[in-house]
Chains A and B, each alone.
Chain A
Amino acid sequence: SQTIHQWPATLVQPVGSPLSLECTVEGTSNPNLYWYRQAAGRGLQLLFYSVGIGQISSEVPQNLSASRPQDRQFILSSKKLLLSDSGFYLCAWSTPGGWGGYTFGSGTRLTVV
């Protein structure tokens, strides 16, 4: 069966520090991968999505970047965190068509202090 792993679960980082959040998927190949941010426990904002290795699409210009070095690995990064980067970050995957819906990771709570 397919599983998605996301870590760490919580992270407290100072302003100006770098960030690296990792997401891996098991049990499937060539998944579509997504990074979302959820602010204040409500709506989801799509940050990045990827349809293949090295293929990243950015939805919102901001202080973050994403990379997909392997088929089932998706990384969210920042060189210098801002206070406004605080939030709940969710990784998700879907089949290439996406018609079956998304499977989400358990999320990372990032607090920038």
Chain B
Amino acid sequence: AQSVAQPEDQVNVAEGNPLTVKCTYSVSGNPYLFWYVQYPNRGLQFLLKYITGDNLVKGSYGFEAEFNKSQTSFHLKKPSALVSDSALYFCAVRDISSFKTIFGAGTRLFVKA
């Protein structure tokens, strides 16, 4: 069975500092991995995805994510955080044998000015 874990409920970072939001996954086949962001009282917005190819994936708003097969991780990163990056971030996984995408519990990111 596929699963995804976001080990941190909350991440705090100062504006201008690099940020990392962690995600680990478990699938039976090749993983298809996604990151989404949610602002208050809004739907989720797609940030980036990993299907195949380069392990470093670049996405919207300056975010990137690194796929690490040996550690089964897909951490979200940004070199310099903005206050406007404060939101709820979801990692999601889908494997080729399953129809469904599984979402993590979410990590709340707070960026302080």
Q: Which residues from 89 to 113 on chain B have a C-beta closer than 8 Å to any C-beta of chain A?
A: 90, 92, 94, 99-101, 103-106
Contacts of A107 in B (CB 8 A): 41-43
Q: Is A100 an interface residue (CB 8 A)?
A: yes
Does B51 sit at the interface, judged by CB under 8 A? yes
* B44 within 8 A of partner (CB): yes
A104-B94 CB under 8 A given contacts A42-B106, A98-B99: no
Contact with B along A21-61 (1 / 0, CB 8 A): 00000000000000000000111101001010000000000
Bound-state Cα–Cα, A6 to B101, Å? 21
Assembly CA distance A41 to B42 (angstroms): 10
Chain A residue, CB-CB nearest to B32: A99
A49 to B98, alpha carbons, bound, how many Å?
13
A42-B106, A98-B94, A99-B32 are contacts. A104–B99 as well, Cβ < 8 Å?
no
Inter-chain residue pair count (beta carbon < 8 A)? 53
Residue contact B44 to A104, C-beta cutoff 8 Å? yes
Residue B22, interface by CB 8 Å: no
Q: Is the CB of A43 within 8 A of B88?
A: no
The residues in A between 72 and 110 inclusive whose CB is less than 8 angstroms from any CB of B are 88, 90, 92, 94, 98-107, 109
* Residues A102 and B99 in contact in the complex (CB < 8 Å), given A42-B105, A42-B106: no
CA distance A103 to B34 in the complex (A): 12
- The answer, among A90, A99, A102, for a CB contact under 8 Å with B51, is A99
Chain A residues within 8 Å of B32, by CB: 99
10 nearest A-B residue pairs (beta carbon): A104-B43, A43-B105, A44-B103, A104-B44, A101-B46, A106-B43, A107-B43, A101-B34, A42-B106, A105-B43
- 11 A-B residue pairs with Cβ-Cβ distance under 8 Å, sorted by A, are A41-B88, A42-B88, A43-B105, A44-B44, A46-B100, A49-B100, A51-B99, A99-B49, A102-B34, A102-B101, A107-B41
Q: Beyond A101-B46, A103-B46: 8 further Cβ-contacts under 8 Å? A: A41-B88, A90-B43, A98-B94, A99-B51, A102-B44, A102-B46, A104-B45, A106-B43
